[in-house]
Amino acid sequence: MIFLIQLLVIVLAIITHEHEVIAVYVPPYISVVNKHTDAAKPLYTVPVVTSYVDMQFLQENFLIDIDAPFTWHDCIVQWNIYPGSCPPNKICVSPVSCEEFDCTQVRASYSYKNPSCSPETNSSTLPGWGFCTCPVNVVNPMTSSCDQALLNYDIFSSPISACAPSSSCASFPANVSGVMAFSSSIYAYPAFLGPIKNTLALCLPSKSSAPGVLFIGNGPYYLLPQSNVDVRSYLSYTPLLKHKDSFGYFIKVNSIVIKKRSINVPTNTATKLSTLDPYTTLRTDIYHGVVRRFSMVTKRLRHAKPVAPFGLCYNTSTDGLKVPNIVFNLPDGKKWIVSTPNSIKQITNDVACLAFVDGGATSEPAIVIRTFQFEDNFLEFNLENSTFGFSSSLLSKQTSCANFNFTLTKSP
């Protein structure tokens, strides 16, 4: 059945070249990535086919979450789906019973330690259906509030997903109605794709006007204008680490270097990669070390009053902002270089800030690298080899995440 379901999956992609955006059909498992700036924080989505109506596949935008254990979205669970039974403009799917293996497995394989989450029970049923449903907890990435969703069989977004109330998506950007799981969970989207699930490649755009790209499956990957250069030649690799109670992706950072001076990172420190918040957070002790050093090497720049949530800002009304790189030293001598486009956030015409945030004295993980630092970087998560590939800024290669040439990319 799963193999038949896979045949229904269609992914749309957009090629951006010389300021022209052309919609085309491309082989499955390649998708555009859109940046949304109309919510409380920038977020990134992929278009997902969610239903088949009047001989057409319909799609909606889902947030990219590389930590979520399963996909969830705004939909309705019904036990007897037939033509005309689903309310207009709604997606209806079949329920998973609390007595089924998938219900037990999903609940056992993850846990949200959010105090607002209610206990998951087996007391609910659907009208006319003789079995209990399978409530699971989902956490809203915008508000961190917890809602209960019903586990279901979804033939489009993944074999197992969950239906959440419409209110769960109320704070999302416009035209975004769900969360797509791209984690290492067996219920995340990469696992749904079977044999090609071993690699997830992600390139987040820096502008909402030009999309980036997401691949599931091996490359090669090509960029314009260097259409004969495989992006993988730009990558350095470091091991992906496992972390208890999480399906997310973790790496080891040995130290943070700013202009040849190292800021100590304790040996037991975990570094998480996240797609749901914009700015890298550092535990207070690490953050203070980074800010002190960065302030010292930029002391000739005019400082400005800090703008929350940042602690170090500069006046850019008259001075050009030239700052040193911030380097994450990784195992085996690998270096992830964070250059000015990924370290400085322009707040207004007159103020720019160091785009790192104090995560608190007890924050765990101590370092979380987030999306502003990802933009226009090519990232590759190889689940088979447990490695993480990173390019540092593609702008130094005179290209960006908006410049993928799908026509030269081999189908997985």
Is 50 exceeded by the pLDDT of residue 22?
A: no
Cβ contact 41:146 at 8 Å:
no
Q: Please enumerate in sequence order all residues whose Cβ is within 8 A of that of 374, keeping only pairs 6 or more positions apart, or say none.
A: 202, 204, 275, 342
DSSP state of 285: H
Rg of the chain (C-alpha set): 22
Q: What's the number of CA atoms in the CB half-sphere (13 Å) around residue 361?
A: 0
- Nearest-5° Cα angle at 403, 400 to 408: 130
pLDDT given at position 197: 61
DSSP letters of 131-158? Answer: SB--EEEEE-TTT--EEEEEEEE-TTT-
Of 79, 78, 75, 77, the residue nearest 89 (C-alpha): 75
For 382-395, write each residue's pLDDT tens digit: 988 999 999 999 99
CA torsion angle for 401, 404, 410, 412 (degrees, to 10)? Answer: 40
In whole angstroms, give the CA distance from residue 91 to residue 93: 7
pTM for the predicted model, two decimal places: 0.89
Cβ contact 162:153 at 8 Å:
no
Tell me the three state secondary structure of residue 3.
Answer: helix
DSSP letters of 267-336? Answer: TT--EEE-SSSSSEEEEHHHHHHHHHHHHHHTTTSPEE---TT-S-EEE-SSS------EEEE-GGG-EE
Cβ contact 389:380 at 8 Å:
yes
> By mean pLDDT, which of 177-186, 197-206, 216-225, 255-264 is the weakest?
216-225
Token pair 């037939």: residue: 82
pLDDT given at position 25: 31
**Mean per-residue pLDDT for 75-92?**
86
Domain ranges of the chain: 234-394
In whole angstroms, give the CA distance from residue 199 to residue 131: 38
Tell me the three state secondary structure of residue 331.
Answer: helix
> What is the pLDDT confidence band of residue 224, given thresholds at 50, 70 and 90?
confident
Q: Which CATH superfamily is domain 234-394 in?
A: Acid Proteases (2.40.70.10)
* Strands 326-329, 356-360: pairing kind: unpaired
Tell me the three state secondary structure of residue 160.
Answer: strand
Is 60 exceeded by the pLDDT of residue 244?
A: yes
For 326-356, write each residue's pLDDT tens digit: 999 999 999 999 999 999 999 999 999 999 9
Is 60 exceeded by the pLDDT of residue 312?
A: yes
Token pair 């550092």: residue: 282
